[in-house]
Homo-oligomer: A and B are copies of this chain.
Amino acid sequence: MNAVISYKQKGLFILSDKSKQERSQLLISREHKSEDTIIEVKGTRIGGSSHTLIAGPCSIESEGQLRTVAKTLKQAGVTVLRGGAFKPRTSPYNFQGLGEDGLKMLKKVADEVGMVTISEIMTPEQIDVAADYVDIFQIGARNMQNFDLLRAVGKTDKPVLLKRGLSATLEEFKFAAEYVLDQGNDRVMLMERGIRTFEKATRNTLDISAVPILKQETHLPVLVDVTHSTGRKEIMLPCAKAGLAAGADGVMIEVHPNPPQALSDAKQQLNMEEFQVFWQELTNSGLYNK
């Protein structure tokens, strides 16, 4: 039988011209599920009435580095520890991350202080490796449309943090999340991390309007990454406030014990003191619900 005909018989092709009515049947949509999705991981709740801060270094570099950051974060009340072990780097000659060694450090330190871990995976194969150490899988901006990876995390039972692509439309972002939900995993959170524009004053342009649109059109938690969107320490606090005021469920920020020595993102990670100021002012603003 002709393959085209078999696809047509399955009725799959019809969806390529999905009407508005059909679109509302997307699993990510508010029409499909009206209440907010709240993701629980080891006692931490993401989404709903409280806010979440995800913090930690860009790259995992050593246990000592992680421990310094984690202790400070935990003491401040932060519950989710991030750290990159598999690093997507523009150049093959840049530091590519410590891999599984890094993940082991992440878990060890997180267990010591009692935090939830999140780290980026870049291929389906890394799922099995990372599953032993990581509580939340992060899909990075460059992999937002790595559809096999989306399907693969969709088959796991771990929460997924999906970052918006560098120039992905909100339509494409939502469909990327749909790939995960379509495989049975509905514990997905969306992260706006800045889009590419002509503006050179910031690393990327934080698309603040993405927050209310995603909150209104989907039931998933929405967070803003104020490190990669701005690339400028002095505006991370106001942008974090803006994100919360716009309805975001949380914020991600990079923190490093000694940013100038960092193996990646040296210029835009907060040091311990800068983090304390950031966190104090954010929680004092009245915009952040612990």
Contact = CB atoms under 8 A, between A and B. Distances in A.
A79 to B, nearest CB: 23
A205 B15 CA distance: 27
Interface residues of A, number: 85
A171 B94 CA distance: 14
A163 to B, nearest CB: 13
Interface string A177-215: 011001000000000000111111110011111111100
Contact of A245 (B171, B207, B244): B244
A119 to B, nearest CB: 15
A209 B198 contact: no
A101 to B, nearest CB: 6
Interface centre among A98, A151, A241 (most CB of B within 10 A): A241
Interface in A142-156: 142-143, 145-148, 151
Interface string A101-122: 1100100000000000000001
Interface centre among A13, A89, A245, A247 (most CB of B within 10 A): A245
Contact of A209 (B64, B102, B230, B287): B230
A109 to B, nearest CB: 13
Contacts of A208: 206, 208, 239, 242
A43 interface: no
A122 to B, nearest CB: 6
Given A18-B93, A209-B239, A170 B148 contact: no
Given A16-B94, A18-B91, A195-B198, 18 more contacts: A3-B61, A3-B62, A3-B102, A4-B65, A88-B145, A89-B147, A122-B147, A167-B198, A170-B201, A171-B201, A198-B198, A199-B207, A206-B207, A208-B239, A208-B242, A213-B232, A242-B242, A242-B246
25 contacts: A3-B61, A12-B95, A15-B94, A16-B93, A18-B93, A90-B145, A90-B171, A90-B175, A92-B175, A92-B178, A123-B148, A146-B146, A166-B168, A195-B197, A195-B205, A202-B213, A206-B209, A208-B239, A209-B232, A209-B235, A211-B242, A212-B239, A238-B247, A239-B246, A286-B286
Interface of A: 2-4, 7, 12-13, 15-16, 18, 61-62, 64-65, 88-95, 98, 101-102, 105, 122-125, 142-143, 145-148, 151, 165-172, 175, 178-179, 182, 195-202, 205-213, 216, 229-230, 232, 234-235, 238-239, 241-247, 263-264, 285-287
